[in-house]
């Protein structure tokens, strides 16, 4: 086996981290320096060694005798005993943490000492909970960069999670919009359909002077590579790996182009077939009859000429929406401003980072009328989960804050809730006496993801049968791009939800979006009530509600299907008595 310089450099860098973590003086720096020297080397170390032996390695600038011997061992055997020993001694997955941009020996050590972070999953969890920013030498910017880097690593080849990448997309959109040559701009494709993950970004622009728009686009500071630079079409790859296409279209074709580039492909194909039945021809330039243009300026006109009601982008997946549209039976989807409350929030009583009051303040600013505090329970010891006694204390605290808010004149209510852990057998982590005291009782699975389907299904149904349980949070437990849903019989769950009057959640956290769209549709058809919650662990996470609403729209849910579109009293009335 031939050992590359890169491989050797990586081992040396990891050794530096291990030594740093053990507080060994000086040596970490020596290993780090050598790692850099090896990485920068223009010759191949392996070849160098075959020609000149260990002497040739020692002659390299910055390489001492003892490290040269280690390099020799790697080249000769493919292994380094010293490295393996160090690795065994620490519980930290240095190799994967090192791949996160901006994390070196000192920072990895600090993360382990202060937050017990041993791998990238724990790193992500802490970063998302806003726990890293307060560490000495880190700050909010570092925390943000860590999350960006993690997203980038995850995306090596995969799809982007819409909610995480949306701020970047909106920035590009607003920068382009500021150009005086841009008359209209819209992001089409899967972004407009609000799919949970996106392959790339498709932007449409109306402009009478495309050249400066194209120039601006390919020269944006976050562009890593220009894929094509044409007069009306360009494509770039951004530094974070995201592909973005821009296309300038004529005003008279705007509706047709928007319809075409919004997709989905299967929706488009179905529309085109309808057009043919009418003797029309539909393409990205317009709706035509022979050479004659029927229409093309707006999407609404195109649908109308095809005998259809306008179909919201979130529904355009050819899942039956076209038939409903032709029968004028499309549901009126929940709107993006329709939520009045947020029913799942973790505070600094457990693994959230903000206080109950801070959540209330931000929720009020967002225009919400109520929130439910749902901290974890005692079985989740690593989050500091609440036991019965602490929960009662929290309920009292919520009462006090409510009094304060109402004295200040706010018409806003904080409700007492919980994210009670569902134990292996479907019983709950807190006694019924405690659950009885809650305004809203949520429950969730955080363990035994691998039970056989039948057992997992029974476990959840048993929890639903508890007369105190109001909502099942993130019912299938998937984490997009990371962990599949646990095996459950979703139809049985939905039936049981209906029978027991239990609400199922649409968790809005961008990598959960659990329930997923087709399960939401099943709930809607079955008449099972749903809730859209942020699952916030930080006040800013309440912004994710938008993506929960998007998911609900993709699942054809109306305002009526979602319990937290109602005022607080009406919402509470829908729960179990
Ligand atoms: P993505 O990017 O994988 O998340 O998904 P989309 O839906 O954004 O797909 P993309 O970017 O390949 O194409 C954008 C839109 O262009 C797509 O939604 C519909 C339209 N389109 C692309 N290819 C075809 C095609 O072969 N036939 C038809 N009818 N439309 C297409
Ligand atoms: Ca796309
Ligand atoms: Ca595309
Ligand atoms: Zn949590």
For 298-314, write each residue's pLDDT tens digit: 999 999 999 999 999 99
pLDDT of residue 1: 57
Nearest-atom number in ligand 1 for the CA of 200 is: 2
Cβ of 264 closer than 6 Å to ligand 1, yes or no, is yes
Expressed in angstroms and rounded, the spacing between residue 342 Cα and the centre of ligand 4 is 15
Residues 6+ apart with CB under 8 A from 396: none
Quick one: 470 exposed, middle or buried, by C-beta within 10 A (0-12, 13-18, 19+)?
A: buried
Nearest-atom number in ligand 1 for the CA of 198 is: 4
What architecture is domain 5-156?
Orthogonal Bundle (1.10)
Return the CATH number of the domain spanning residue range 341-573. 3.20.20.140
Residue bearing the CA closest to ligand 1, atom 3:
199
Residue bearing the CA closest to ligand 1, atom 21:
265
Expressed in angstroms and rounded, the spacing between residue 235 Cα and the centre of ligand 3 is 9
Residue bearing the CA closest to ligand 1, atom 22:
265
| pLDDT (tens digit per residue) in 147-184 | 888 877 776 557 899 999 999 999 999 999 999 999 99
| pLDDT (tens digit per residue) in 439-463 | 999 999 999 998 999 999 999 999 9
What confidence category does residue 64 fall into, taking pLDDT thresholds of 50, 70 and 90?
confident
Cβ of 189 closer than 6 Å to ligand 1, yes or no, is yes
Residues 6+ apart with CB under 8 A from 25: none
pLDDT of residue 37: 85
| pLDDT (tens digit per residue) in 365-400 | 999 999 999 999 999 887 889 999 999 999 999 999
| pLDDT (tens digit per residue) in 181-225 | 999 999 999 999 999 999 999 999 999 999 999 999 999 999 989
More confident residue, 13 or 316: 316
Cβ of 247 closer than 6 Å to ligand 1, yes or no, is no
Residue bearing the CA closest to ligand 1, atom 19:
263
Residue bearing the CA closest to ligand 1, atom 30:
265
Cβ of 370 closer than 6 Å to ligand 1, yes or no, is no
Rounded Cα distance between 415 and 359, Å, is 12
Percent of the chain with pLDDT over 90: 75
Cβ of 197 closer than 6 Å to ligand 1, yes or no, is no
Cβ of 313 closer than 6 Å to ligand 1, yes or no, is no
pLDDT of residue 369: 98
Q: What is the 3-state secondary structure (H, E, C) of 485-496?
A: CCCCCHHHHHHH
The helix (run of H) or strand (run of E) holding residue 281 is strand 281-283
Cβ of 259 closer than 6 Å to ligand 1, yes or no, is no
Identify the CATH class of 158-249: alpha beta
Rounded Cα distance between 289 and 278, Å, is 9
pLDDT of residue 273: 97
Nearest-atom number in ligand 1 for the CA of 263 is: 18
| pLDDT (tens digit per residue) in 99-111 | 888 888 889 999 9
| pLDDT (tens digit per residue) in 554-563 | 999 999 999 9
Cβ of 196 closer than 6 Å to ligand 1, yes or no, is no
pLDDT of residue 156: 59
Residue bearing the CA closest to ligand 1, atom 26:
265
Rounded Cα distance between 530 and 472, Å, is 10
Residues 6+ apart with CB under 8 A from 447: 379, 421, 423, 424
Q: What secondary structure letter does DSSP report for 4? A: P
Cβ of 263 closer than 6 Å to ligand 1, yes or no, is yes
Spell out the domain ranges in the chain: 5-156, 158-249, 262-330, 341-573
The pTM (predicted TM-score) of the whole model is 0.81
* CA–centroid distance for 393 within its chain: 33
Report which bound ligand comes closest to the CA of 507. Answer: 4
- Tokens matching residue 209: 């002077």
CATH number for 262-330: choose from 1.10.357.10, 3.40.50.1980, 3.30.210.10, 3.30.70.1290.
3.30.210.10
Nearest-atom number in ligand 1 for the CA of 264 is: 18
Q: Residue 483: how many CB atoms within 10 A of its CB?
A: 12
Which of 204, 246, 263 has the most ligand 1 atoms within 8 A of CB, as the residue to mutate? 263
Q: Kindly tell me if the per-residue pLDDT of 72 is higher than 80.
A: yes
Cβ of 265 closer than 6 Å to ligand 1, yes or no, is yes
Separation in Å, CA 272 to CA 275, 478, 559:
5, 36, 31
Cβ of 331 closer than 6 Å to ligand 1, yes or no, is no
What confidence category does residue 98 fall into, taking pLDDT thresholds of 50, 70 and 90?
confident
Expressed in angstroms and rounded, the spacing between residue 481 Cα and the centre of ligand 1 is 21
Expressed in angstroms and rounded, the spacing between residue 200 Cα and the centre of ligand 3 is 5
- Tokens matching residue 495: 């039936």
pLDDT of residue 77: 84
Q: Kindly tell me if the per-residue pLDDT of 120 is higher than 90.
A: no
Q: Kindly tell me if the per-residue pLDDT of 2 is higher than 70.
A: no
| Helix, strand, coil % in the chain, rounded to nearest 5 | 50, 15, 35
Rounded Cα distance between 93 and 118, Å, is 6
Report which bound ligand comes closest to the CA of 190. Answer: 1
Q: Kindly tell me if the per-residue pLDDT of 328 is higher than 70.
A: yes
């Amino acid at each position: 086996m031939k050992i590359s310089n890169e491989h050797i450099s990586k081992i040396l860098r990891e050794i530096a981290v291990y030594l740093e973590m053990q507080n060994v003086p000086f040596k970490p720096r020596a290993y780090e320096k050598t790692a850099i020297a090896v990485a920068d080397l223009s010759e191949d170390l392996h070849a160098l060694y075959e020609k000149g032996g260990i002497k040739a390695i020692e002659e390299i600038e910055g390489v001492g005798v003892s490290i040269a011997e280690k390099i020799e061992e790697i080249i000769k055997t493919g292994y380094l005993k010293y490295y393996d020993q160090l690795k065994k001694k620490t519980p930290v997955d240095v190799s994967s943490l090192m791949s996160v941009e901006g994390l070196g020996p000192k920072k990895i050590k600090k993360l382990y000492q202060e937050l017990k972070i041993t791998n990238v999953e724990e790193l992500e969890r802490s970063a998302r909970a806003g726990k890293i920013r307060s560490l000495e030498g880190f700050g909010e910017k570092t925390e943000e960069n860590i999350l960006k880097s993690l997203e980038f690593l995850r995306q090596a080849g995969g799809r982007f999670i819409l909610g995480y990448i949306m701020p970047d997309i909106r920035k590009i959109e607003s920068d382009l919009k500021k150009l005086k040559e841009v008359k209209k701009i819209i992001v089409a494709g899967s972004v407009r359909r609000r799919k949970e993950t996106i392959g790339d970004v498709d932007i449409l622009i109306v402009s009478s002077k495309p050249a400066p728009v194209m120039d601006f686009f390919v020269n944006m500071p976050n562009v890593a590579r220009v894929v094509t630079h044409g007069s009306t079409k360009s494509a770039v790859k951004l530094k974070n790996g995201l592909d973005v296409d821009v296309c300038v279209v004529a005003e008279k074709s705007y509706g047709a182009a928007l319809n075409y580039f919004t997709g989905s492909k299967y929706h488009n194909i179905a529309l085109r077939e309808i057009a043919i039945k009418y003797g029309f021809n539909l393409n990205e330039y317009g709706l035509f009859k022979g050479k004659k243009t029927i229409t093309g300026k707006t999407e609404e006109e195109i649908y109308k000429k095809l005998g259809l009601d306008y179909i919201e982008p979130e529904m355009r997946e050819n899942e039956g929406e076209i038939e409903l549209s032709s029968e004028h039976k499309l549901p009126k989807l929940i709107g993006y401003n329709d939520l009045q409350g947020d029913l799942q929030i973790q505070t600094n009583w457990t693994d959230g980072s903000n206080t109950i009051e801070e959540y209330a303040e931000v929720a009020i600013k967002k225009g919400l009328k109520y929130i439910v505090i749902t901290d974890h329970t005692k079985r989740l010891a690593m989050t500091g989960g609440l036991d019965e006694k602490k929960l009662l204390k929290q309920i009292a605290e919520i009462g006090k804050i409510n009094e304060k808010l109402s004295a200040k004149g706010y018409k806003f209510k904080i409700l007492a809730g919980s994210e009670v852990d569902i134990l292996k057998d479907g019983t709950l982590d807190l006694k019924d006496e405690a659950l009885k005291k809650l305004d809203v009782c949520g429950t969730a699975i955080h363990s035994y993801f691998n039970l056989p389907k039948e057992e997992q299904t029974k476990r959840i149904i048993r929890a639903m049968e508890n007369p105190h349980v109001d909502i099942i949070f993130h019912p299938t437990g998937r984490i997009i791009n990371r962990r599949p849903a646990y095996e459950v019989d979703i139809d049985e769950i939905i039936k049981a939800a209906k029978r027991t009057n239990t609400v199922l959640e649409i968790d809005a956290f961008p990598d959960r979006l659990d329930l997923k769209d087709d399960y939401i549709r099943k709930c809607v058809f079955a008449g099972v009530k749903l809730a859209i919650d942020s699952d916030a662990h930080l006040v800013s996470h309440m912004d994710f509600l938008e993506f929960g609403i998007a998911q609900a729209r993709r699942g054809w849910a109306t305002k009526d299907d979602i319990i937290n579109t109602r005022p607080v009293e009406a919402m509470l009335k829908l729960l179990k008595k």
